[in-house]
A and B are shown apart, each in its own frame.
Chain A
Amino acid sequence: MLLIRCPYCGLRDESEFSYGGEADIARPLEPETLTDAEWADYVFLRTNTKGRFREQWVHAHGCGRWFTLVRDTVTHAHGETGVFGGVEPEADG
């Protein structure tokens, strides 16, 4: 099991979290102007990186907040976390 450091709650078991997949996929601001191919790119296409990968997790059985995590998809080693739209909190774990 992974041990994941929630930026709000500190180090917790992976089973407290739910996975949100690849990070940095922003919803297009004017979707009605996109072609079908551009829309498919946003909805379906993924980089699916082998190596250091920025991804999203939610502390579902904890504080309920989303954050980003950089994790290596080959070694599972992970470290830096990031929060959405705010100041990085002081982790307590």
Chain B
Amino acid sequence: MQRYSIFSLARNALTGHRNWPQAWRSPAPKPEYDVVIVGGGGHGLATAYYLAAEHGIANVAVLEKGWLGGGNTGRNTTIIRSNYLWDESAAIYEKALQLYEGLSRELNFNIMLSQRGVLNLAHNEHDLKEMARRVRAIRGNGIDSEILSPAEIKKLVPAINVSKDMRYPILGASLQRRGGVARHDAVAWGFARGADARGVDIVQNCEVTGIDRKGGRVTGVRTSLGPIKAGKVGVVVAGHASVLAGMAGFRLPIDSHPLQAMVSEPIKPILDCVVMSNAVHVYVSQSDKGELVIGAGIDSFNSYAQRGSWQIIEGQMGALVELFPVFSRLRLMRSWGGIVDTCPDASPILSKTPVEGLYFNCGWGTGGFKATPGSGWAFAHTIARDEPHPLAAPFSLDRFTTGALIDEHGAAAVAH
């Protein structure tokens, strides 16, 4: 791997940038690997990276049916935060945030992390009380969080409407200053380059069509490029976890839904933090290119179509122009959808499965991007040691039998 630096930049400038090497190889798959990771999104690539970097397991393939980061990794609104209510969630999302803070240096790849702050708005008495409770719980876990008055919100976000004659006036907000955004593609690419440099084979356009088992143990996968044997298989597919589980003969507590996002036309800098509102339900930030990046909730029906219904977009536009009347003159440039796998308790699954040697990392619902490095970190350990990492253990499949659910439907005051 050629390291990126000011010197390599200068050296390549002298040759007109014609000699940059490929960031990762595109090898044909070998007939057998120690570990096969199904899914080349951020979480799968992070898992492969940490398997190689932390556990010395480099005979690994990442199989991706499309292109790297072409699923939910490239479709989310890039928000990162760790202000979750319950201890189990706080632990894994905070681990992810801490890894994010050092990730550009660790991967020698600029993931463009911008800790610009994430603001969660409160619009009624109940919101305020709930927010106070959450902020205390979050601070109790050693995670930064503070409460802002409407005047302080207005100072931080001058474009916002804090007048009292709104339909749902803004009464306060919680702020996580360490939260923010990162370049989602760069997270996938950085992990891919780092994993490849450590010997991991990244195979794109390779769809897994079956999971081979013998005597209750996984033996490999069948793919569009032929069968591949594997000692262990880690499934990290956002949007198709139930389909992959079906290949291995069991069901998951998951429903798949469309989640839409959209961007406006680019404008000059107007919004330098992330603003989220659960009550009116919209979240918005401004990208480095100047577009407003906007999202809200899922479409209610099950779908694998990567598109949703118009009234969902209409609803969040109504909320957006209520919060920021100045945005009403903007045009939407494009909208798109991804498939999110949602669990009944709105928490993910990082788990061993009924099949020995087969592990699932799925069900991140609407908020998986922020967890990418922490998820990969904990899942790599789970695969390497065949036992859940302490950060992953509470998120095992068993919780749906024992009843030890991690109810994050409030999800730290907002959808993701």
**Do chains A and B interact in one complex?**
yes
A84 in the interface (beta carbon within 8 A): no
Q: How far is the CB of B408 from chain A (nearest CB, A)?
A: 16
Chain B proximity mask over A9-29: 1 for CB below 8 Å, otherwise 0: 000001100110110000000
A19 adjacent to B304 (CB under 8 Å):
no
Chain A proximity mask over B292-313: 1 for CB below 8 Å, otherwise 0: 0000000011111100011100
Known: A36-B402, A46-B242. A74 touches B255 (CB 8 A): no
A73 adjacent to B309 (CB under 8 Å):
no
CA distance A73 to B306 in the complex (A): 10
Q: Which of A2, A47, A71 contacts B242 (CB 8 A)?
A: A47
CA distance A48 to B245 in the complex (A): 11
Residues of A within 8 A of B273 (CB): none
Q: Which of A15, A46, A75, A76 contacts B251 (CB 8 A)?
A: A46
A50 adjacent to B240 (CB under 8 Å):
yes
Known: A55-B302, A73-B303, A74-B305. A50 touches B344 (CB 8 A): no
Q: In this complex, which of A15, A49, A55, A73 has the most chain B Cβ atoms within 10 angstroms of its Cβ? A: A73
Q: Which of B243, B252, B309 contacts A2 (CB 8 A)?
A: B309
Q: How far is the CB of B319 from chain A (nearest CB, A)?
A: 16
CA distance A57 to B402 in the complex (A): 30
Residue of A nearest to B256 (CB): A48
Residues of A within 8 A of B242 (CB): 46-48, 50
B401 in the interface (beta carbon within 8 A): yes
B255 adjacent to A18 (CB under 8 Å):
no
CA distance A41 to B251 in the complex (A): 9
Residues of B within 8 A of A1 (CB): 309-311
B252 adjacent to A45 (CB under 8 Å):
yes
Total cross-chain contacts (CB, 8 A): 68
B300 adjacent to A18 (CB under 8 Å):
yes
B251 adjacent to A45 (CB under 8 Å):
yes
Residue of A nearest to B312 (CB): A1
Q: How far is the CB of A11 from chain B (nearest CB, A)?
A: 16
B302 adjacent to A22 (CB under 8 Å):
yes
Chain B proximity mask over A68-93: 1 for CB below 8 Å, otherwise 0: 00010111100000000000000000
B4 in the interface (beta carbon within 8 A): no
B303 adjacent to A76 (CB under 8 Å):
yes
Residues of A within 8 A of B240 (CB): 50
Chain A proximity mask over B338-364: 1 for CB below 8 Å, otherwise 0: 000000100000000000000000000
B275 in the interface (beta carbon within 8 A): no
Residues of B within 8 A of A36 (CB): 401-402
A55 adjacent to B401 (CB under 8 Å):
no
B158 in the interface (beta carbon within 8 A): no
Q: How far is the CB of B331 from chain A (nearest CB, A)?
A: 21
CA distance A57 to B300 in the complex (A): 11
Q: How far is the CB of B215 from chain A (nearest CB, A)?
A: 21
Residue of A nearest to B240 (CB): A50
B254 adjacent to A46 (CB under 8 Å):
yes
Residues of B within 8 A of A53 (CB): 302
CA distance A71 to B304 in the complex (A): 12
Residues of A within 8 A of B310 (CB): 1
B301 adjacent to A55 (CB under 8 Å):
yes
Q: How far is the CB of A13 from chain B (nearest CB, A)?
A: 8
Q: In this complex, which of B252, B301, B303 has the most chain A Cβ atoms within 10 angstroms of its Cβ? A: B301
Interface residues of B in 274-288 (CB under 8 A from A): none
Residue of B nearest to A2 (CB): B309
A46 adjacent to B301 (CB under 8 Å):
no
Binding site for A on B (CB under 8 A): 240, 242-243, 246, 251-256, 300-305, 309-311, 344, 400-402
Known pairs A45-B252, A49-B302, A73-B303; list 20 more (Cβ under 8 Å): A1-B311, A19-B300, A22-B302, A36-B401, A36-B402, A37-B401, A40-B253, A40-B400, A43-B400, A44-B344, A44-B400, A46-B242, A46-B251, A46-B252, A55-B301, A73-B256, A73-B302, A73-B305, A74-B304, A75-B305
Show 7 residue pairs from A and B whose CB-CB distance is below 8 angstroms, ordered by the A residue.
A2-B301, A48-B255, A48-B302, A53-B302, A71-B301, A73-B256, A74-B305
